């Protein structure tokens, strides 16, 4: 009996299609209603409009939320890439006591539910008496972004032949000169990739921002607040559409840089891991 073949040919294909639809159809609805003329989010569509995008430009509270989010995302991406570079370097190049434990500890926020991170950080900050601000959100975001940074950059460092650094030193270059002239150019695509991806993660992040934000709300927190007002829904859809396009663009760009880093070192890009 060819039961296995029957399942693989028909059922599994059907299952895969349904799976993809359930996963991505809601996302397609977002831009669909963003351009819909009606204030009610329901079919049938009534007409095409840019009105909701226009509303976004007139909302002052939104602008400060966008500003907060951008500041947080930029600082988070720089800090976590910096820490990620150092961590990845140590992880790939050096042996030290408790290495596995330390690496595990760095990577654990990847699988830890964000709500736990958010709540525990909030409790901690309250206990030591630090008031909530943009900076507390940044601290939370760095915590969850560093593992991504480490993952991306360790693939960049893994492809770096240690004898390149020795060759540079051997040719009279200093440690710093070696970093500037050899290491940096070779891992630069990885660094850019890490900056873009951590920026995107921070920009989209809701749960930690919700717990740790004070009066300076971030964009996702602002959007959540607007959901309570049905008349604001279409403009939220428009905002969501902009964020969606921006995120996809940044993630793709990040992956392009990571692959370029791998191919510059003569490796198969798909063999070095990565996020896509």
Q: Is 38 in the site for another protein (CB under 8 A)?
A: no
Is residue 234 a contact partner of residue 166, using CB atoms and an 8 Å limit?
Answer: no
182, 233, 242, 256: which one binds another protein (CB under 8 A): 182
Is residue 152 a contact partner of residue 188, using CB atoms and an 8 Å limit?
Answer: no
What is the three-class DSSP state of 43? Answer: coil
- Report angle CA 84, 275, 83 to the nearest 5 degrees: 5
Q: Is 161 in the site for another protein (CB under 8 A)?
A: yes
Closest distance between another protein and the C-beta of residue 184, in Å?
10
Among the residue ranges 16-24, 150-158, 181-189, 198-206, the one whose residues contact another protein (CB under 8 A):
181-189
Among the residue ranges 45-53, 126-134, 157-165, 191-199, the one whose residues contact another protein (CB under 8 A):
157-165
Q: Is 177 in the site for another protein (CB under 8 A)?
A: yes
Which candidate, 181, 156, 177, 16, places its Cα nearest to that of 92?
A: 156
Closest distance between another protein and the C-beta of residue 165, in Å?
9
Closest distance between another protein and the C-beta of residue 86, in Å?
22
Q: Is 186 in the site for another protein (CB under 8 A)?
A: yes
Q: Indicate the residue among 35 and 157 with the shorter CB distance to another protein.
A: 157
Q: Indicate the residue among 136 and 261 with the shorter CB distance to another protein.
A: 261
Among the residue ranges 39-47, 150-158, 164-172, 225-233, the one whose residues contact another protein (CB under 8 A):
164-172
Q: Is 158 in the site for another protein (CB under 8 A)?
A: no
For 113, other C-beta atoms within 10 Å of its C-beta total 10
Is residue 84 a contact partner of residue 194, using CB atoms and an 8 Å limit?
Answer: yes
94, 172, 268, 271: which one binds another protein (CB under 8 A): 172
Q: End-to-end distance of the chain based on CA atoms, in angstroms?
A: 38
- Report how far Cα 190 is from the mean position of its chain's Cα atoms: 14
Q: Is 168 in the site for another protein (CB under 8 A)?
A: yes
What is the three-class DSSP state of 196? Answer: helix
Q: Is 93 in the site for another protein (CB under 8 A)?
A: no
Phi/psi of residue 172, each to 5°?
100, 0
Q: Indicate the residue among 2 and 163 with the shorter CB distance to another protein.
A: 163
Closest distance between another protein and the C-beta of residue 172, in Å?
5
231 burial type by CB count under 10 A (0-12 exposed, 13-18 middle, 19+ buried): exposed
- Report how far Cα 147 is from the mean position of its chain's Cα atoms: 11
185, 214, 230, 273: which one binds another protein (CB under 8 A): 185
What is the three-class DSSP state of 227? Answer: coil
Closest distance between another protein and the C-beta of residue 159, in Å?
9
Please state, in angstroms and rounded to a whole number, the distance separating the CA atoms of residues 91 and 101: 11
Chain positions contacting another protein, by CB under 8 A: 161, 163-164, 166-174, 177, 181-182, 185-186, 264-266
């Amino acid at each position: 009996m060819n039961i296995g073949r029957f399942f693989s040919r028909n059922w599994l294909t059907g299952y895969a299609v349904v799976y993809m639809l359930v996963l991505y159809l809601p996302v397609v609805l977002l831009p669909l209603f963003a351009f819909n003329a009606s204030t009610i989010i329901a079919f049938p569509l009534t007409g095409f409009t840019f009105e909701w995008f226009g509303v976004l430009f007139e909302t002052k509270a939104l602008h400060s939320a966008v500003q907060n989010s951008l500041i947080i995302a930029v600082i988070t991406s720089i800090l976590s890439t910096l820490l990620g570079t150092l961590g990845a370097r140590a992880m790939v190049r050096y042996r030290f006591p408790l290495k596995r434990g330390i690496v595990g500890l760095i990577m654990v926020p990847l699988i830890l539910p964000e709500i736990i991170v958010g709540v525990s950080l909030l409790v901690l900050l309250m206990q030591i008496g630090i008031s909530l601000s943009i900076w507390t959100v940044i601290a939370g975001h760095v915590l969850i972004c560093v593992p991504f940074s480490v993952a991306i950059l360790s693939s960049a460092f893994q492809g770096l032949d240690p004898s390149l650094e020795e060759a540079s030193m051997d040719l009279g270059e200093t440690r710093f000169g070696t970093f500037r002239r050899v290491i940096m150019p070779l891992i630069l695509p990885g660094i850019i990739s890490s900056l873009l991806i951590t920026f995107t993660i921070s920009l989209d992040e809701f749960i930690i921002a919700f717990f740790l934000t004070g009066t300076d709300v971030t964009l996702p927190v602002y959007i959540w607040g607007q959901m309570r007002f049905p008349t604001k829904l279409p403009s939220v859809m428009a905002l969501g559409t902009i964020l969606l396009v921006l995120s996809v663009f940044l993630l793709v760009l990040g992956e392009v840089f990571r692959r370029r880093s791998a191919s510059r070192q003569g490796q198969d890009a798909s063999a070095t891991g990565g996020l896509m």
